[in-house]
Chain A
């Protein structure tokens, strides 16, 4: 049983005109076996929340706490957070030329598991996980994310989650840019890992579409750097119908 607690989190970024506060007091608790959807309009700070949990150097925490099972996550380096059991599926996975996917996955698994996986088991495990996500085995020898399509990158993010077996996974717009077939495959990958583990999931999305495939237990509306309202799946349905207007006060595009 694991719990990620975010308490009164304030985060700012450096801009040309000085520091700008993006997160203005986020409170959120995600436990094992729960799926929380965070929905919000563009620019509301959803991705900042994801990157701040993972420890991206661009973001400065000015106030508040992030605790994983009581341990202070903000004191940990980026790699320590991952080894502690946090995972961020990124919206824009980074290309790393010259580093093969297989070398990368093995290095990451060795780091997070604390020992190098046995070669025979590992090869089988990777092959199985790739096949579950309809990933061509040839990708193992390609450079990390290099020349991958948007959908291929997202599949590989979910592949990494299933191999690194985090306690808490933050999925940052993993659904964006996917066609329906790819969305189905990626969602199945997430659901398979949910079924096989106790993972707690923080699913960040702009659209309600993905929630038809990955059922949330809780839905949070994220506006202007904080959680504006929390509820059950019915909140997503309301957003589907009415958009974010009630929360932002301004007419915005439908989150269909």
Chain B
């Protein structure tokens, strides 16, 4: 949709004998690492097993460490806590969970269920894991109606305060739920979020990060996909000084089906980073990734920066894998930088398909001309194009009231630069 400044991939590889697709980075796209990140991927609950990041590590090279307020080097002290509420429904009409097959418990970090989603793979996640005092476990043991989403609200500890957080959302076998996981408020938070989706279960979750301007949030999302389970995870990042999200997909048995969608809108000074790993370790699983971002830096001020890393690994055992990932970034102003690095590593040729695409571009003048040549004023034409750009992601959100909120949030972002 945009004039490409940088474009990579776009190819589709089919079995047999699928080669490793190499990424050819262009301007404003970072180069691929020489060793694939998963080859050196270390996981542990023990914070001391991770070196303190210095900024050169592949995992941290895009992150401004000095803005992490000590989350990465042990100097942060937890002087606050997040507030977590779980309600049935969304918005003003939400009610408590009484009488439903969904329960909310608070447990200690020694609860044996913790870790079912996955294991920390970076120092901040391990720090949060070993420091957190109170873990929230939400278990769904029913097929909930789409009309009644669960809303889990995580509120930051407040400006100047730091908190570690851990939330586990469990769907028992053949359970179904639509979940809005809403993050808001102020402060500094390091978090682990586990999504444990058992055999045959179906989870649709929209994870919203609508933090206040001061907030720093570094979170690892551990998604565990049971046999024939389905997860649709939509990640929305709209607010915060720095938000870094690292979702990892762990397939536990064949038949898993995962869609990861993302939408982010970064303004001047904001750093939004998303690092995805889809680990196809078992056969006959599917994954689709579609992340879209818009950036607008302040004129003459600080730049907006987004980072998207999409690692997809198809291991030797993962025959019959079907995967495709896509990232698109729309630069609305000059003062913006979008890094986009798709990585696809294929260790078996016996797959259904694997492909990736990434493009970062400016506003397309031809689209503007076309709309304006039909009489549509420029500002409205720009809004149509941006709404259209995000429309693919927003239309898949199944909670109408949330869809409205996201559309309104994008309109509000566009107001900022008078687009």
CB contact list, A91-129 vs B, under 8 A: 93-99, 103-104, 107-108, 111-112
Contact, CB under 8 Å: B370 / A82: no
Interface string of B356-396 (1 = CB under 8 A from A): 00000000011101111111111011001101111110000
**CB contact under 8 A between A93 and B370, given known A57-B365, A98-B1, A99-B388:** yes
Residues in chain B near residue A111, CB distance under 8 A: 374-377, 380
Bound complex: CA A79 to CA B379 (Å): 11
Contact, CB under 8 Å: B390 / A104: no
Interface string of A73-95 (1 = CB under 8 A from B): 00001110111000010100111
Contact, CB under 8 Å: A107 / B380: yes
In the complex, which residue of chain B has the Cβ closest to the Cβ of A160?
B374
Residues in chain A near residue B380, CB distance under 8 A: 107, 111
Contact, CB under 8 Å: A79 / B385: no
When the two chains form the complex, which single residue of A98, A112, A160 contacts B387, counting CB atoms closer than 8 Å?
Answer: A98
Q: Does A54 sit at the interface, judged by CB under 8 A?
A: yes
Q: How large is the interface on B (under 10, 10 to 19, 20 to 34, 35 or more residues)?
A: 20 to 34
Contact, CB under 8 Å: A164 / B365: no
**CB contact under 8 A between A82 and B1, given known A96-B370, A99-B388:** no
Contact, CB under 8 Å: A108 / B388: no
Bound complex: CA A107 to CA B371 (Å): 9
Bound complex: CA A221 to CA B356 (Å): 49
When the two chains form the complex, which single residue of A79, A97, A143, A144 contacts B372, counting CB atoms closer than 8 Å?
Answer: A79
Q: Does A56 sit at the interface, judged by CB under 8 A?
A: yes
Contact, CB under 8 Å: B374 / A77: no
Residues in chain B near residue A94, CB distance under 8 A: 366-367, 369-370
Q: How large is the interface on A (under 10, 10 to 19, 20 to 34, 35 or more residues)?
A: 20 to 34
Residues in chain A near residue B369, CB distance under 8 A: 54, 56-57, 78, 94
CB distance from B202 to the nearest CB of A (A): 26
In the complex, which residue of chain A has the Cβ closest to the Cβ of B393?
A98
In the complex, which residue of chain B has the Cβ closest to the Cβ of A111?
B375
CB distance from A64 to the nearest CB of B (A): 21
Contact, CB under 8 Å: B375 / A82: yes
CB contact list, B55-85 vs A, under 8 A: none
When the two chains form the complex, which single residue of A54, A82, A99 contacts B384, counting CB atoms closer than 8 Å?
Answer: A99
**CB contact under 8 A between A88 and B373, given known A57-B365, A99-B384:** yes
**CB contact under 8 A between A90 and B370, given known A107-B380, A111-B376:** yes
**CB contact under 8 A between A96 and B371, given known A79-B378, A107-B380, A111-B377:** yes
- Give me 24 A-to-B residue pairs in the complex whose CB atoms sit less than 8 angstroms apart, sorted by A's number: A55-B373, A78-B372, A81-B373, A82-B374, A90-B370, A94-B367, A94-B370, A96-B367, A96-B370, A96-B384, A97-B392, A98-B1, A98-B390, A98-B392, A99-B388, A104-B374, A104-B384, A107-B374, A107-B384, A111-B374, A111-B375, A112-B374, A144-B370, A164-B374
Closest 5 CB pairs of A and B: A98-B388, A82-B375, A108-B374, A98-B391, A111-B375
Given A77-B372, A88-B373, 12 more pairs with CB closer than 8 A: A78-B373, A79-B372, A79-B376, A81-B373, A95-B1, A96-B384, A96-B385, A98-B387, A98-B392, A99-B385, A107-B376, A144-B370
Using CB atoms and an 8 Å cutoff, list the residues of chain B in contact with chain A: 1, 365-367, 369-378, 380-381, 384-385, 387-392
